[in-house]
């Protein structure tokens, strides 16, 4: 486990990775823009938000099911991340509702690959967070309304923080490179 200085530094680096998206996405937008959306744009936005919601819901299932395999700092981090993932899912549901869409419910079952121990669960959680970031990287530029881009950018930045901590727990560099991508 790295010392506290390394952890803070890595978290700050991960936070900065998503900050640009949040700032760029925050220009303009709001309720008025939602009212002027074409039906096609609204449906596309709802589809993108529901895709992100489905990936969040799978991560929630993995954090929930995997909790007993974790101990010490990884257990505490996973509990915190689970609460944040639940907030992310709630926010996405709220955005879908504001667009007069129907949010997808969580699946009844997920294939979580049956992690055998803490090391393997951390790898699976790492993969799940990378999938979430990938979904946001894909969706953000396609969304019609700036405040939707901003909300998804904020969630993505938080998931980047999760990813940095999970990487550190695996003995990896908190931030693998200068750009936020889904490929290392």
pLDDT digit string, tens, across residues 7-16: 555 455 555 5
SS3 string of the chain?
A: CCCHHHHHHHHHHHHHHHHHHHHHHCCCCCHHHHHCCCHHHHHHHHHHHHHHHHHHHHHHHHHHHHHHHCCHHHHHHHHHHHHHHHHHHHHHHHHHHHCCCCCCCCCCCCCCCCCCCHHHHHHHHHHHHHHHHHHHHHHHHHCCCHHHHHHHHHHHHHHHHHHHHHHHHCCCCCCCCCCCCCCC
| Spatial separation of the C-alpha atoms in residues 181 and 13, rounded to whole Å | 14
Give percent of the chain with pLDDT exceeding 90: 72
pLDDT the model gives residue 181: 64
pLDDT higher for 40 or 6?
Answer: 40
pLDDT the model gives residue 26: 44
Fold of domain 4-169: Ferritin (1.20.1260)
pLDDT band at 35 (very low <50, low <70, confident <90, very high): low
| Spatial separation of the C-alpha atoms in residues 16 and 152, rounded to whole Å | 15
pTM (two decimals): 0.79
């Amino acid at each position: 486990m790295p010392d506290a200085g390394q952890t803070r530094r890595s978290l700050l680096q991960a936070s900065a990775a998503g900050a640009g998206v949040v700032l760029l996405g925050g220009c303009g937008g709001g309720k008025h823009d939602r009212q002027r959306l074409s039906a096609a744009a609204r449906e596309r936005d709802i589809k993108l938000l529901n895709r992100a919601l489905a990936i969040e819901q799978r991560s929630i299932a993995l954090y929930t099911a995997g909790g007993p395999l974790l101990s010490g700092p990884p257990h505490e981090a996973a509990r915190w991340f689970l609460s944040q993932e639940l907030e992310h899912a709630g926010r996405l549901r709220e955005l879908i509702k504001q667009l007069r869409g129907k949010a997808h419910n969580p699946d009844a079952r997920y294939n979580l690959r049956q992690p055998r121990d803490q090391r393997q669960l951390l790898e699976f959680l790492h993969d799940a967070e990378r999938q979430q970031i990938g979904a946001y990287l894909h969706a953000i530029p396609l969304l019609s309304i700036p405040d939707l881009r901003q909300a998804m950018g904020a969630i993505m930045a938080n998931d980047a923080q999760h990813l940095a901590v999970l990487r550190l727990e695996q003995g990896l560099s908190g931030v693998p490179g200068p750009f936020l991508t889904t490929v290392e």
